[in-house]
Amino acid sequence: MPPKMTLLKIHQMAKRLFDVVFSLLVILLIFPIIFPIVFIIIKLESKGPIFFVQKRNGLHNKIFNCIKFRTMIQNKYADTQAAIDNDERITRVGKFLRNSSIDELPQFLNVLIGDMSVVGPRPHMISDSEKFDKIATNYQNRHLVKPGITGLAQINGYKGHINTIQDVKARTIIDLKYVNNQSFWLDMNIIGSTIRLIIEDRIVHIRNQRIERLAESNTDKESTNAQ
């Protein structure tokens, strides 16, 4: 038991050191470029603050303020109703920010102050946590580690809003697998996979946009020729 506890302590220290260094690099190098652009496009489309702050469950179920770029119009259901497909509350800019995961960037501030980690189970709204706890076995064990910006469930295809009971159970199983097998090298693998998936998603998105534009162009030409 003592050697295992020592290894866990070393892992936690290495993880925290990495979190601080990585979050500082993002805040100092990426934020100055991204923030002015996001500030302008959010303000141009809708009234309200740039950031959306929501109470979520963290380490040992402690409540913390999770920070995101605002992607919805201001509404009284933001803290009780999670976003769904084609949610009318999501702005056009918000849709882009969500699809590109840029809306999550402010959470590196949460990482820096110690509420979150770069890698860990995604934090859920308090109302969702209470609901999911009644559905998934050992759900609360997710909170034995800090919540993360990305995690094992996310690189296995479970990201975004949760649709079904099966989805809740599957994500919880994967999150608990991370909790039970956490290591610095697993974190590095998850971060590498996350970066790769983001790049692949952007390539697919750009390709689909080109196909759509080409299809629209061909439709316009056929319509002109028919006249």
**Which DSSP string corresponds to 151-169?**
-HHHHTT--SS--SHHHHH
Q: What is the pLDDT of residues 25-75, one digit of tens each?
A: 999 999 999 999 999 999 998 888 999 999 999 999 999 999 999 998 887
Alpha carbon 118 to chain centroid, angstroms: 10
Mean pLDDT of 138-149: 96
The CA-based angle 65-155-109, given to 5 degrees, is 25
Which residue type is seen at 213? R
Q: Does residue 43 form part of some domain?
A: yes
Asked if residue 1 has pLDDT above 50, the reply is no
pLDDT at 219: 62
Lowest-confidence segment of 47-61, 133-147, 157-171, 208-222 by average pLDDT: 208-222
Mutual angle of helices 31-45 and 92-99, in 10-degree steps: 150
Question: For the chain, how many structural domains are there in total?
Answer: 1
Q: What is the pLDDT of residues 184-194, one digit of tens each?
A: 999 999 999 99
H helical segments located in the chain? 2-25, 31-45, 92-99, 107-113, 126-133, 152-155, 165-181, 184-226
Q: Does residue 73 form part of some domain?
A: yes
pTM comes to 0.84
Asked if residue 226 has pLDDT above 80, the reply is no
Q: Does residue 226 form part of some domain?
A: no
Q: Does residue 30 form part of some domain?
A: yes
Q: Does residue 225 form part of some domain?
A: no
pLDDT at 200: 85
Which residue type is seen at 46? S
Q: Does residue 222 form part of some domain?
A: no
pLDDT at 227: 59
Q: Closest Cα to residue 54, out of 2, 104, 14, 1? A: 104
Q: Does residue 224 form part of some domain?
A: no
Task: Give the pLDDT band of residue 87 (cuts 50, 70, 90).
Answer: confident
Owning domain of residue 180: 2-217
Q: Does residue 227 form part of some domain?
A: no
